[in-house]
Structure 1
């Protein structure tokens, strides 16, 4: 890849690592008992406040005029990519664990790729090419790595310094029918949130063409709409005003961190990368969040590290590299075809010029 092609890869890797740490800390905050949609509303409000000065100072001259249709599309963007997505994802996270949440989130490339094929955003004919096969194999390997991290624990390879409040996920299946049902329901909620996130990525790819100021202005509008949407959805669980008063210092820190890093920075980077490389390419970095969440559990939350986590992380990174290999091959093929067409057009143009010159140099009879 060229330098400009490596830029989306680097920023997505940084963003994915940050998101892994965000989800691990969010799980810790949810365990305190805070309403998950109140948490989301504060998170979106902080994101909007952070992005307002950036969007005004840097994009006030280049920002297109907002129309009613664009406002409606940003409302839908907030609904898909923030409020409804967080409603299901955070609810599922509270029922399960960060590892399971990120493992299911690693299916994002496959879901996005499938939806892109359904909506004809991706060409099915490309699957027959070498690059298409590599992208498909890379996606499947990423899913395999996610399955390792979820269902295979293996031997404990670290010292037994598990956090005292940490819960062994394997015991949840043995706590009766209610716990098993709650665990299954949490997985369904997580999967629903991931499908909504995939739809947002595809929708954002279209919106970025209509409203090119996606770095700050579009994300700010999305955050404003999502903050109100999350506040309304919080009524589902509680209608007490006291629930909006956050007293726990850890929860306040996590809200600030999730709003700045997990929402403002991450959405700006994701939107920019989608515009540069497409939704399918961006979704492939979701397994990196899984690896980051696993490491965060071990280093920050002091959870034990198991052999399955190491194997799953290695398999996930391998799948990501295979996908990037396929993406690079696809880019090289596109560049090669462009150069070939350009040379052909240049040769035809030169031939026409030579013919014209020959006709002009003929002596009159």
Structure 2
């Protein structure tokens, strides 16, 4: 809903500068569809990664060293992929002290390093469902920051999609809280059933 649906434009004071851009071409519509498909694929891949992360933490419970291994393997895979894609463009390896380098450093240190570490800590405590349920919030945060920082226009479709994401997040967290409360009543049932079975054994004896 956030990427495909548009609707009417919300005229906000900070987006008036970028409202003169023409973005109603057919190529833009195709980009919206491609973007939605890429988001679906990204959500599936991210879900698989969260599940594998949770499984790995059971046999390797060191979050910090596991984060280092994840970042190292990601750097190696990214290097190989860049060598294949940019094999005819050696200038892509040049380093310039500008905002691009700052974005790379921030993405590697904060988004990957710090993010994976805290993800591992929360995975051990809350489980993969609790971690993955917050992933769609990144699209809402990106839409809000793009409006403030880049001056992108906000449509009613994006607002409705963000509303659906927040409602879904609340419902999942509510369901998880109910699941965590339910085991407290099960020991009583188990103890009562064990007492009944022990009484029957005593009578038989």
Q: TM-score range by the shorter chain?
A: 0.7 to 0.9
1:342 Cα offset (Å): 6.6
CA distance in 2, matches of 1:227, 1:321: 35
In the other structure, the counterpart of 1:317 is 166
User: Which residues of 2 match residues 343-362 of structure 1 at below 5 A?
Assistant: 344=192, 348=195
CA distance in 2, matches of 1:163, 1:235: 39
In the other structure, the counterpart of 1:261 is 110
Which fold has the larger relative contact order, with Cα–Cα distance below 8 Å and residues 6 or more apart in sequence? Answer: 2
TM-score, normalised with respect to structure 2 = 0.80
In the other structure, the counterpart of 1:232 is 80
Superimposed CA distance per residue, residues 111-146 of structure 1 (whole angstroms, 9 cap, x where no aligned partner): xxxxxxxxxxxxxxxxxxxxxxxxxxxxxxxxxxxx
1:213 Cα offset (Å): 0.8
1:320 Cα offset (Å): 0.8
CA distance in 2, matches of 1:311, 1:183: 16
In the other structure, the counterpart of 1:252 is 101
CA distance in 2, matches of 1:185, 1:246: 30
Structure 2 unpaired stretches of 5+ = none
1:184 Cα offset (Å): 4.8
Superimposed CA distance per residue, residues 48-107 of structure 1 (whole angstroms, 9 cap, x where no aligned partner): xxxxxxxxxxxxxxxxxxxxxxxxxxxxxxxxxxxxxxxxxxxxxxxxxxxxxxxxxxxx
In the other structure, the counterpart of 2:43 is 194
Structure 1 unpaired stretches of 5+ = 1-146, 356-365
TM-score, normalised with respect to structure 1 = 0.47
1:284 and 2:140 aligned: no
1:326 and 2:166 aligned: no
Report the secondary structure of 1:285's partner residue: coil
How many residue pairs are counted as aligned between the two chains? 196
1:162 and 2:18 aligned: yes
1:167 Cα offset (Å): 7.3
CA distance in 2, matches of 1:154, 1:185: 22
Native 8 Å contact 2:7 2:157 kept in 1: yes
CA distance in 2, matches of 1:278, 1:197: 15
Native 8 Å contact 2:9 2:153 kept in 1: no
Report the secondary structure of 1:151's partner residue: coil
Compute the RMSD of aligned alpha carbons: 3.0
